Chain A
Amino acid sequence: QKEVEQNSGPLSVPEGAIASLNCTYSDRGSQSFFWYRQYSGKSPELIMSIYSNGDKEDGRFTAQLNKASQYVSLLIRDSQPSDSATYLCAVNRGGGSNYKLTFGKGTLLTVNP
């Protein structure tokens, strides 16, 4: 069973702190990794993607990938109350032109003012 695991949370951090969200996956052949943010009652919106081992930064967000250990993480620097949402990790398990993603259940982040 190919799975994507996330701590359901809630993860609570004070405003201005660094929030660290983690995700592990079971399919060692996975190639693409995504983080989505989902506000309550809304659809997921893409934060960033990562394909290679190491760090990828985009503004206050940094994604980290370690394929050997099969984990991907998302760091949010200078957390803001507006970052309070559920964060979904997704992993590509398909190939060719059919890109099928497997999602974790998400981690609920609460940023306290």
Chain B
Amino acid sequence: SQTIHQWPATLVQPVGSPLSLECTVEGTSNPNLYWYRQAAGRGLQLLFYSVGIGQISSEVPQNLSASRPQDRQFILSSKKLLLSDSGFYLCALSWSSGTDTQYFGPGTRLTVL
């Protein structure tokens, strides 16, 4: 079965600082990968998804970006964090063929001060 790793688990960053969150996957090849954000009191918001290396689709305009340098690696970045970037960031995967079920990693809790 597949395993999703995310790090760091928690992060406290000042406003205006850069951000890099990493997601890596084991146990499957060529997955679809997703970045979600869950802000306090709000639902899960899809930020980016990727169907392959270098292929990124953005769902919501924002100061975040994503990259997929390897098949099983998905990175979320920002050049300058805003207070509104605080939240719980979740990486998810689905298999590229067959079921559309998504499985979530453990998440990174980001606090921007």
Contacts and interface: CB of A to CB of B under 8 A. Distances in A.
B101 A49 contact: yes
Interface of A: 32, 34, 36, 41-46, 49, 88, 90, 92, 94, 97-106
A48 to B, nearest CB: 10
Interface residues of B, number: 25
22 contacts: A34-B101, A34-B102, A41-B109, A42-B107, A43-B88, A43-B90, A43-B104, A43-B105, A43-B107, A49-B101, A90-B44, A92-B100, A97-B32, A97-B51, A97-B96, A99-B94, A99-B102, A100-B34, A103-B43, A103-B44, A105-B42, A105-B43
B46 interface: yes
A99 B42 CA distance: 21
Given A100-B49, A105-B43, A106-B43, A43 B106 contact: yes
Contacts of B42: 105
Given A92-B100, A101-B102, A44 B46 contact: no
Contacts, number: 54
Interface string B71-100: 000000000000000001010001011011
Interface in B22-79: 32, 34, 42-44, 46, 49, 51, 57, 59
Nearest to A102: B46
Nearest to B105: A43
A44 B101 contact: no
B102 A98 contact: no
Contacts of A90: 44, 102
A92 B101 CA distance: 9
Closest 10 A/B residue pairs (Cβ) = A99-B100, A105-B43, A103-B44, A43-B104, A43-B107, A103-B43, A44-B104, A99-B94, A32-B100, A43-B106
